Structure 1
Amino acid sequence: MTGIVNTAQAEAWNGYEGEHWATHADRYDAVNSGFNGYLLDRVRPGDRVLDIGCGNGQLTRLAAARARSATGVDLSGPMLATARARAAEVPNVTFEQGDVQVHPFAEGAFDLAVSRFGVMFFADPVAAFANVRRALGPGGRLAFLCMTALSGTDLGRVFGALAAYLPQPTGPDGSGPTSFADPDRTRAVLTEAGFEDVACARVEAGQVWGRDVPDAARFFAGWGPVRHHLGLVGAATVAKATEALAAALEPFAEPDAVRLHGTAWLVTGRRS
């Protein structure tokens, strides 16, 4: 793969992070697929769809079933291998490995760009979205999901239980998974990138993290942001953090699964 400027993310998504997501594709879909409808409802039959940060490709495949064609792009070789295998019998799906900030999309090649939590880690988000805008034809639409601030959410409650032992996933400058948690910043970035009619609507969905508390805690501890910080502390701190994690997940246990109530911003706009 050539033309990468976001080298740190490329290393992560072609290393442990990407391998974990590829290995646990069904589990990550169980966490995030409740949000699919917010994006799929915007797909029209004749659309050429671009799925940004497509990962293991579930949304790409589902969009293709409603559209003329769908193309998924991602940094991660491991996840793209999974995506291609799962879409082997879907004729109108293609996948490309690349950095959206600089990927040489054909100008005007798409009618709709979507993303399910795949846009929060750009080193230069204005450049990335300007490149997406160039890839859209006249009147092209954009719709993506991104994380809200953690405060007051179920996920924030779980991370809060880990705060005494591990750093939080979002840096003091707002970088990280919640980099688009502030709608004002999101609107500013997209406007600078050439989009108009930008809107941010808060949406919700259930998220399944495991079949029971021990299972969910193991999976959560293997999730990249948590696993990275667990690797930076001693064994005693790891044990305390793991115990706190299980206790934090206990209130969300139901007879058949551990479910958190997820929140996201649905961000929409169009090419100006």
Structure 2
Amino acid sequence: METVVNTGQAEAWNGYEGRHWAEHQARYDAVNSGFNDAVLAAVRPGDRILDIGCGNGQLTRFAARRSSDGHAVGVDLSAPMLDRARESAAAEGVANVEFLRADAQAYPFPAAGFDVALSRFGVMFFADPVAAFANIGRALRPGGRLAFVSLDDFRHGDLGAVLGALAAHLPPPGTDGTGVAEPLSLADPAVVQRVLTEAGFAGVDCVRVEAQEVWGRDAADAAGFLAGWGPIRHQLGRVDAATADRACAAVLEALLPYQQRDAVRLRGTAWLVTAHRPD
């Protein structure tokens, strides 16, 4: 890789977090793919596409297909996830796509080399979001478009009730002094507006969108998967084993109302953010 400034994220996404996402590619796509269409609406035939924080690459591959004779580049810090992205593209026969291991905050993208930059929950973790989006903006041609989804406050969706069951058992997130960017760093539209404006974007718009998220076959399966999700696993590791067991039991109970005949389905909310590089 070129220069990496998001060192904490690089460590996480090339360690447990990245391996867990790569090993559970289909499961994470089942959680997040309901938001694909909202982002892909920004893609036009012939577009040169940059997918930021592409992970296992589902959105990148869909964008490449949508662009027809265009081209898509997926960028991520995670070697395990990029390996899965390349394998999936080859298996699906998506030829107009490539994947690059790089820190999007600092990587020297070709100036004005892309028509549109996309992301599905991959832009909330920058150490300096203004610098990162300014770098992404330089990679867009004048008039180039930006479209991404970032996490909304969990309390606005069903996951809030599930995570709320942990509150009595685990320390509050963000209190461990790691200094690593939180997943909810762009959950406030006012923050998004300020960051993107300072980064040089215009026409910033934030719209709350909803999608169904499939978390598991049943409540027990979903609870086990959630316990392995990086942010929750980290919190569970901050308490003793008995407390962690009580927290996991609370999550299982909280998931039961969402258990349907074939899956656990939660209503998720996110912010669809669109903007453009001024002409």
Give TM class, smaller chain: over 0.9
Q: 1:107 aligns with which of 102, 105, 111?
A: 111
1:225 maps to 2:224: no
Root-mean-square deviation (CA, aligned residues, Å) is: 1.5
Equivalent residue for 1:162?
166
Equivalent residue for 1:58?
58
Q: Deviations over 1:122-168 (max 9, x none)?
A: 00000000000000001100000001112242111111100111134
Q: 2:79 aligns with which of 52, 77, 81?
A: 77
Q: Deviations over 1:97-143 (max 9, x none)?
A: 01111011000110000000001110000000000000000110000
Equivalent residue for 1:203?
209
3-state SS, counterpart of residue 51 of structure 2: strand
1:38 maps to 2:38: yes
Distance 2:53 2:175 in 1: 21
Runs of 5+ unmatched residues, structure 2? none
The alignment's TM-score, normalised by the length of structure 2, stands at: 0.95
Letter matched to residue 44 of structure 1: R
Contact 2:73/2:100 (8 A) holds in 1: yes
Distance 2:25 2:131 in 1: 29
1:185 maps to 2:186: no
Q: 2:143 aligns with which of 139, 142, 146?
A: 139
Distance 1:205 1:168 in 2: 27
Distance 2:142 2:172 in 1: 41
- After superposing the two structures, state which structure 1 stretch, 147-156 or 243-252, moved more: 147-156
- After superposing the two structures, state which structure 1 stretch, 168-177 or 220-229, moved more: 168-177
Distance 1:126 1:32 in 2: 25
Equivalent residue for 1:243?
249
Distance 1:196 1:161 in 2: 40
Q: Percent identity?
A: 63
- After superposing the two structures, state which structure 1 stretch, 79-88 or 161-170, moved more: 161-170
Equivalent residue for 2:259?
253
How many equivalent residue pairs? 272
TM-aligned CA deviation for residue 169 of structure 1: 4.1
Equivalent residue for 1:27?
27
TM-aligned CA deviation for residue 41 of structure 1: 1.6
Letter matched to residue 189 of structure 1: V
Letter matched to residue 118 of structure 1: G
Q: Deviations over 1:184-205 (max 9, x none)?
A: 1100000000000000000000
TM-aligned CA deviation for residue 39 of structure 1: 1.1
1:151 maps to 2:155: yes
Letter matched to residue 145 of structure 2: R
Q: Deviations over 1:229-258 (max 9, x none)?
A: 111211100110010010111111100000
Distance 1:118 1:83 in 2: 15
Distance 2:239 2:157 in 1: 26
Q: 1:215 aligns with which of 193, 218, 221?
A: 221
Letter matched to residue 125 of structure 2: F
Runs of 5+ unmatched residues, structure 1? none
- After superposing the two structures, state which structure 1 stretch, 84-93 or 22-31, moved more: 84-93
Contact 1:72/1:94 (8 A) holds in 2: yes
Distance 1:239 1:232 in 2: 12
